[in-house]
Amino acid sequence: MSRRIVVIGGGPAGTFAAIAAKKQDPAASVILLTREHCEPYEKPPLSKAVLVGDIGPEAAPIAGPGGVTSHDVVLEVRADCAAIDRAARNVVMTDGRRVPYDALVIATGSVARELPLLPTGTPRVHYLRTETDARALKAALRASRDLLVVGGGLIGLEVAASAETIGLRVTVLEVAPRILARVCDEDTGAFVHAAHARRGVDIQLCTALAAVDRDADGRLAAVAADGRRFDADLVVVGTGSIPDTSLAAAAGLSIDDGIVVDAQCRASDPAIFAAGDCVRFPGLHGLVRLENWIHAQDHGVVAGKNAAGASETYKAAPSFWSEQYDLYIQGVGWPMADTTRVHRPLDGNRLLMFDVKDGCVTYAMGVNVQRDMAIARRLIERRVAVDPGVLADPRQGLAALLKR
């Protein structure tokens, strides 16, 4: 009998897992279950092109123009999984139906971290995670003049840039002494901060939200711990996300700030694999959790192949990108201690720096240097020995380093 592979979650990890599983074992029956109501779509445009332009989230289907079914994968939308019965090897749906599996991939992703002062459902307060959230936020932005963003991380700053682009006055509250503290180095953070400041976005650092008031018109005022008030028509909360491990935890799988998997994406039950935002996997220095698109996609492929009988190891260097105004911001590699920072001085609206350790690049950050970042990724993945003098000299091309 053909193998039954079930994938839970229609984000990039689940969608790529399902497609890779079918490719690996064409005889298998592969089912992708997602609680959302539509074909799996890309999330990155939700905070950018979808808010600024006329395109809808459906414009970027993850599985390509033919959708998931064109890959011979069965897609079930509005398929909310309530439990995993590991003994019977069934996924139990909220309507009581049971979906049997021989191998299961869990790719339930992450959910927005809620601020207790601004719970989901509070009027004029938005969180951004799904296409439904994006449609609601887009409509609200068009009916507002003043936007307050809580959180100077990637999503908060992307929403700030989009809102400013369509004409809103924007204030960002960030509790840390600098923006993007979790994702990039100080220089890149300062570069991005300056781009926002040039456009009039008011970024308030070291500012903790202490209370929220509402005036008679329903407008909101965020009150900072030092008493300052920030009035707004609309608030977007971008304070990070937490892994959605609820199904896996209830099924008794090993959890540690994410579903714990080995390098082959196998969870603590050998019939179950997991991938993407919801997972902690063995990185360079122990277990890590990553929340970015490329990781979710590549991790999903490995989980899907292995669920279909392969034994691939996940080795990719982590990377992320963000788009804010005309800045294309990228990071690749593993940030580490005891590295030497090498800056490559570039003109124009560009920035590039490398961390070097034991003669090899371990991490690179860049703005508007996509080709150089593609080379940096290969230098890191292949552990190519580099001359820091070449990295620091913009007259010398980086591609030559790969030929050594």
Residues that bind ligand FAD (CB under 6 A): 8-14, 33-36, 43-44, 46-47, 79-81, 107-110, 128-129, 155, 244, 247, 276-278, 291-294, 296, 320-322
For 10, 223, 312, the CA distances from 270, given in Å and listed in that order, are: 22, 50, 15
Neighbours of 284 (CB within 10 A): 12
- In whole angstroms, the minimum distance from the beta carbon of 395 to ligand FAD comes to 32
Q: Which of 47/171 has CB closer to ligand FAD?
A: 47
- In whole angstroms, the minimum distance from the beta carbon of 235 to ligand FAD comes to 16
- In whole angstroms, the minimum distance from the beta carbon of 140 to ligand FAD comes to 15
HEC letters along the chain: CCCEEEEECCCHHHHHHHHHHHHHCCCCEEEEECCCCCCCECCHHHHCHHHHCCCCHHHCECCCCCCHHHHCCEEECCCCEEEEECCCCEEEECCCCEEECCEEEECCCEEECCECCECCCCCCEECCCCHHHHHHHHHHHHCCCEEEEECCCHHHHHHHHHHHHCCCEEEEECCCCCCCCCCCCHHHHHHHHHHHHHCCCEEECCCCEEEEEECCCCCEEEEECCCCEEEECEEEECCCEEECCHHHHHCCCCECCCEECCCCCECCCCCEEECHHHEEEEECCEEECCCCHHHHHHHHHHHHHHHCCCCCCCCCCCEEEEEECCEEEEEEECCCCCCEEEECCCCCCCEEEEEEECCEEEEEEEECCHHHHHHHHHHHHCCCECCHHHHCCCCCCCHHHHCC
Residue 47 sits at φ, ψ, to 5 deg, of -95, 0
What is the residue type of 277?
D
What is the residue type of 96?
G
- In whole angstroms, the minimum distance from the beta carbon of 321 to ligand FAD comes to 5
- In whole angstroms, the minimum distance from the beta carbon of 404 to ligand FAD comes to 30
Q: Which of 4/357 has CB closer to ligand FAD?
A: 4
- In whole angstroms, the minimum distance from the beta carbon of 73 to ligand FAD comes to 15
- In whole angstroms, the minimum distance from the beta carbon of 245 to ligand FAD comes to 10
For residue 101, give every residue at least 6 positions away whose Cβ sits within 8 Å of its Cβ, in sequence order, or none: 4, 5, 6, 89, 90, 91, 271
Q: Which of 17/353 has CB closer to ligand FAD?
A: 17
By CB atoms closer than 10 A (0-12, 13-18, 19+), residue 382 is exposed
Q: Which of 103/329 has CB closer to ligand FAD?
A: 329
Q: Which of 296/342 has CB closer to ligand FAD?
A: 296
- In whole angstroms, the minimum distance from the beta carbon of 400 to ligand FAD comes to 29
Q: Which of 22/43 has CB closer to ligand FAD?
A: 43
Give the residues across from 111 on adjacent strands.
242
- In whole angstroms, the minimum distance from the beta carbon of 9 to ligand FAD comes to 3
- In whole angstroms, the minimum distance from the beta carbon of 228 to ligand FAD comes to 28
- In whole angstroms, the minimum distance from the beta carbon of 237 to ligand FAD comes to 12
